[in-house]
Amino acid sequence: MTRERKNNKSTLKKVLHYVGKYWFFVVVSILLAAVSALLTLYVPIIIGDTIDFIIDKGNVDFSMIYALLKKAGIVVLITAFAQWIMNICNNKISYGVVLDIRKEAFEKLQKLPLKYIDSHAYGEIVSRIIADVEQFSEGLLMGFTQFFTGVVTILGTLVFMVMLNPKITVVVVCITPVSLLVASFIAKKTYSMFRIQSETKGEQTGIIDEMIGNQKVVQAFGQEERVLERFDEVNERLRKCSLRAIFFSSTTNPATRFVNSLVYTGVAFTGAIAVVNGTLSVGQLSCFLSYANQYTKPFNEISGVITELQNAFACAARIFELIEEEAQVSEPEDVIVLTDVKGNVELENVDFSYDKERKLIESLNLSVKPGQRVAIVGPTGCGKTTMINLLMRFYDVDKGCISVDGKDIRQVTRNSLRTSYGMVLQETWLREGTIRDNLIMGKPDATEEEIITAAKAAHAHSFIKRMPKGYDTEIKEGGEGLSQGQKQLLCIARIMISLPPMLILDEATSSIDTRTELKIQNAFAKMMEGRTSFIVAHRLSTIKEADIILVMKNGKIIEQGNHESLLKEKGFYYKLYCSQYQ
C-alpha cells in the first residue's frame, strides 16, 4: 500500500470518527436516500405501463392513463419531500462535523507550544482553520448529498432491470466496470495535486497576512516590487497546480459519460431486438432505457463526488495535522496551584536553546528575593527576552530548574503561574472591544474608581476622555486608530489595575515620550514596591534604581550588581553606559 493510500485511509477514518457523532442523521439520510431512489425508479414503470395503454390505434384507455399519471404525481411528491428531509440531515451532518473540527482546531491552537506558532506563518495557520475547513465542508456535503442516493440508485436500478430482462441487464453490468476504472484512475492522480494546491493557498494566505500587517515597513523600505514579485511567483505556482488539479479532475465527467453512452447504446440495440422478437413491449423498452439513463447517471455524480472528496480529504489532512500536532507538555496530576505568592524566584543551572544545534543560555543561575527589582541588560540576542519566556513558561527549560517560592514551575499550573505575573511588552496587543474591556482583562470585576485611578497613574486618562465615548469607545483588534504610545499606555494601565505579585516589564516605555516616561517611571516605582520585578531595558537610565542589574552576553550573566558597583568595575556594563551617555 502506497504512502498516499495510507494517508487517504487514515484521513477517512478520522472523518468517520467525527461523522459518528451524528449517527442518527446518517441513518435517517441513508433511509431517505433509499426511499427517494426507489420511488424515482418506480416512476419509469408507471410511465412504461402508461405507454402500453396508448400504443394501439383506437384502443386508448384514458381512465387507466389518468390513474397512472395521478399515481406518478403522488410518487414524485413523496420523493421530493424525502429528498428535502434528506438534504436537511446532510446539512446537519456536514456543518456539524465542520463545527466540531474547527472548534477542536482552535482549541488546539490555544494548547500548542509557542515554538509551533513561531515556526509557522500566521496566514498559513489561518488558512488551515478557515479556508481548508470550508473546502472540506463543501466536499463532505456533496458527498453526503449525492453518494448515498447514487449507490442506492445503482443497486435499485439493477434489481428492476433484472426483473424486466436479465439478458439486457448483463450488457449493462459488463460495460459498467470501465466507468469505475476510469473514475478511480483519475481520482488517484488528483489527490496529490489538490494537496499541493491546498498547501500553496496556505502559503499565499501567509504572504497576504504578512504584508497587510507590515505594509508601512514594506513601503518605507521601497520593497513593493520585491513583494509583488514574491506574490506573483506564489500566485503563478497556485495557478499552475490549480489548473493541473482542475484539468485532471474535469476529465472524470466526460470520460464516464462516454462509457455511459456505450451502456445506453448497448441497451437500446439489444432492447430493440427484443421488441422485434416480441419478448419485450415498447413500454418496457422505454422503461429499460430510462433505467439505463438512471443507472449511468449516478456514476457521473459519484465520479464528481470522488473528485470533490479528493480535494476535501487533502484539506482535511492538513487540518488533522494541526489538530494532532503535539501540544505543550501537559500538567501532572499532582499539579500545584500557586497562591499567596511572595515572589522568591530561583534559576538553577538553566540551559535552553530554540535550536538544539545552537546554544543560547547555558548554566544560568539567579536568586531573586521577594520585592527585589531585577534589571536585565545586554546586547541584542543575548537572551533577555528568552529569559522572560522561561520565567512565564512559554518555553520549558532544556536543563535545570526555575522555581517560584520554592516550587518548580513545571509542577505548577500554567494559569496560576502566569496570573502571578503582570507583563507589559514592547509589542502591544489590544483586542477588539471597548477601551474598558481591554483595561479590565486581568481583573474583570474592577470598579470604575480602580479603572480611572490606574489610567491616571499610567497617564492614559486624559487621551481616553478625549475619545468619542471615553472608556466605552470601541477600538479594533490591534488598537487601530491609536498611536503606538497610546497603545502602550493602555497596556501599562491594564497591569496597574490587576496588580499581580510579580512584574515583567520588557521595554515597557519604549514608545513613550521622555517627559511622560519620567512620570510613568514614578508610577512604576510605586507599583513595584513589595513586588518582585524583572525589567528588560536598553535605555540604562530607566534601571538605575534597580536592586540587581544582570548583564547578559551570549546567554550568560557576565556581570551582576547595582548601578554604582557595576560602573566602578568598568566592565561590559560600564562600556554600555558610556556608549549611551558620553
Nearest to 312 by CA among 245, 259, 370, 254: 245
Q: Phi/psi zone of residue 338: left (φ > 0), alpha (ψ -120 to 50 degrees), beta?
A: beta
Query: How far is residue 94's CA from residue 143's CA, in Å, rounded to a whole number?
Result: 9
DSSP β-bridge partners for residue 199? none
285 burial type by CB count under 10 A (0-12 exposed, 13-18 middle, 19+ buried) = buried
DSSP structure string for 421-473: EEEE-SS----SEEHHHHHTTT-TT--HHHHHHHHHHTT-HHHHHTSTTGGG-
Gyration radius from the chain CA atoms: 35
Nearest to 299 by CA among 481, 436, 173: 173
Query: C-alpha angle with apex 232: 230 to 238, nearest 5 degrees?
Result: 110
Nearest to 361 by CA among 351, 372, 348, 376: 351
Residue 182 φ then ψ, to 5°? -65, -50
Helix (H/G/I), strand (E/B), else coil: 42: helix
Query: C-alpha angle with apex 395: 534 to 477, nearest 5 degrees?
Result: 75
Q: What is the sign of the dihedral through the CA atoms of 291, 293, 297 and 300?
A: positive
Strands 373-377 and 532-536: parallel
Domains defined for the chain, CATH in brackets:
103-323 (1.20.1560.10), 345-581 (3.40.50.300)
- Grid coordinates representing 285? 423498452
Helix (H/G/I), strand (E/B), else coil: 570: coil
For position 1, what pLDDT does the model report?
Answer: 43
Nearest to 75 by CA among 94, 112, 49: 49
Q: Do 363 and 349 touch, CB atoms closer than 8 A?
A: yes
Q: Do 268 and 289 touch, CB atoms closer than 8 A?
A: yes
- Grid coordinates representing 100? 466540531
Query: How far is residue 540's CA from residue 283's CA, in Å, rounded to a whole number?
Result: 98
Of the chain, the end-to-end C-alpha distance in Å amounts to 72
- Grid coordinates representing 192? 496529490
Strands 556-561 and 548-553: antiparallel
Nearest to 90 by CA among 17, 37, 22: 22
DSSP state of 553: E
Contacts 24+ apart (CB under 8 A), 130-133: 131/201, 131/202, 131/205, 131/315, 132/198, 132/202, 132/315, 132/316, 132/318, 132/319, 133/98, 133/101, 133/102, 133/105, 133/315, 133/319
The residue to which cell 513593493 is assigned = 224
For position 240, what pLDDT does the model report?
Answer: 84
DSSP β-bridge partners for residue 401? 348
Chain center to CA of 138: 16
Query: How far is residue 344's CA from residue 32's CA, in Å, rounded to a whole number?
Result: 67
Q: Do 256 and 299 touch, CB atoms closer than 8 A?
A: yes
- Grid coordinates representing 431? 483586542
Query: How far is residue 42's CA from residue 550's CA, in Å, rounded to a whole number?
Result: 86
Query: How far is residue 563's CA from residue 352's CA, in Å, rounded to a whole number?
Result: 28
Neighbours of 235 (CB within 10 A): 14
Nearest to 15 by CA among 130, 95, 97, 93: 97
Identity of the amino acid at 519: K
From first to last of its 582 residues, the chain has per-residue pLDDT tens of 455 555 667 777 787 788 888 888 888 888 888 888 788 777 777 777 777 677 665 566 677 778 878 888 888 899 889 889 988 888 888 888 888 888 888 888 777 777 777 777 676 777 777 777 877 777 777 776 677 777 777 777 777 777 777 777 777 777 666 766 776 676 666 767 777 887 788 778 777 777 776 676 676 667 778 888 888 888 888 888 888 877 777 776 677 777 777 777 777 777 777 777 777 777 777 777 777 777 767 766 666 666 677 777 777 787 887 887 777 767 777 788 888 888 888 888 888 887 777 777 788 888 888 888 888 887 777 777 788 888 888 888 888 898 988 888 888 888 888 888 888 777 777 878 888 888 888 788 888 888 888 888 888 888 888 888 888 888 877 667 777 778 878 888 888 888 788 888 877 666 667 776 776 777 777 777 788 888 887 767 667 778 888 888 777 778 888 888 888 888 888 887 777 665
- Grid coordinates representing 382? 543575548
